Structure 1
Amino acid sequence: MSSTILVAFDDSPQATAALRHALSTYDDAAIRVLYVNDPRQWAGSDGIDGIFSAEKAFERSQEAANEVIAAATEIAAEYDAEITTAIEVGTVAETIITDAEDHDVDHIVLGSHGRRGFRRFLLGSVAQRVVRRSPGSVTVIREGTPTAD
């Protein structure tokens, strides 16, 4: 039975490097790509005549999520690999952990922006929370980490 690798993907350079790492390193594994649609990011969306509309914000966020997943699928095609994709709504770290538990994931691969000091304190660290709570092992691809292409 092959292992299942979860790649948290948001189309950032770090997430792209994480996906490329997973595709080149775990070629015998089932790769599951997860995009987390975080409702906290919808608040900046303008609605009709500048009035916030949760429904419109959600629709726009889902369209953006589909574009991100399409980008992941294109990257997988470069490796002649098939991936399973998912879009979940929730807070990022918690949703990654829940998805890993729900799908018997053996390993998580995710990118990290590598923030330090005060910025990390203010923004928190998704990677740090995932590493602490993951049901399995985690590989964190840091900003500028070379990938095997």
Structure 2
Amino acid sequence: MHNILAGYDGSASAQVAVRFAKNLAEKEGARLHVLAVVSPPDWGKLAYELPELLETEKRHCQDLITELKGMLGVSAVTVQYEMVVGHPAKELVLYAERHNIDHVVVGHRGRTAFDRWLLGSIARQVIAYAPCSVTIVRDRPGVAKEHR
């Protein structure tokens, strides 16, 4: 295994996923790629608001990456951070294809039975279309037991 990709959106589940991916990269001697995806603004907004909204989202995403760099600290693992605009699942799959990713790690926020049933649309789509193995990491251990 040479390249591991973690999706990051600043959520607790994404933080857990990135830590998991970093630990896996350390064990495997792999490079860690962290991809933050900025979702385009709601197209129902007035046209003149779109560029400003997108720039605000990009700045927020860049702040999240800066925060993540501090959280991960210094490591023997080489980490490559990138930010793109698009749909998270689609961009994670495209990135995995373009960068010869061997393993994708994404977080899952399964707080309700409905959430667990859905698995999360992003996680489900990444599993369905990724060209490699995918690991879904929960933000809270034992969450499935709480809802049985």
State the TM-score, normalizing by the size of structure 2: 0.81
Q: 1:119 to 1:108 in 2, by over 3 A?
A: closer
User: Among the aligned pairs, what percent are the same residue?
Assistant: 29
Partner deviation per Cα, 1:64-110 (whole Å, 9 max, x = no partner): 01011112211221545441011011111111101110111110011
Say which is worse superposed, 68-77 or 110-119, in terms of deviation: 110-119
- Matching residue of 2:68: 72
1:127 matched to 2:123? The reply is yes
Q: 1:43 to 1:68 in 2, by over 3 A?
A: farther
Q: 1:41 to 1:65 in 2, by over 3 A?
A: farther
State the TM-score, normalizing by the size of structure 1: 0.81
Post-superposition shift, 1:42? 7.8
Post-superposition shift, 1:24? 1.5
- Matching residue of 1:7: 6
Q: Give the 3-state SS of the residue equivalent to 1:39 in structure 2.
A: coil
Q: 1:42 to 1:62 in 2, by over 3 A?
A: farther
Amino acid at match of 2:33: R
Q: CA RMSD in A?
A: 2.8
Tell me the matched-pair count: 140
Q: Distance in 1 between the 2:89 and 2:128 partners?
A: 10
1:38 matched to 2:39? The reply is yes
Q: Distance in 1 between the 2:68 and 2:140 partners?
A: 19
Which residue, out of 138, 142, 149, partners 2:138?
142
Which stretches in structure 1 are left out of the alignment for 5+ residues? 45-49
Q: Give the 3-state SS of the residue equivalent to 1:129 in structure 2.
A: helix
Q: 1:137 to 1:123 in 2, by over 3 A?
A: closer
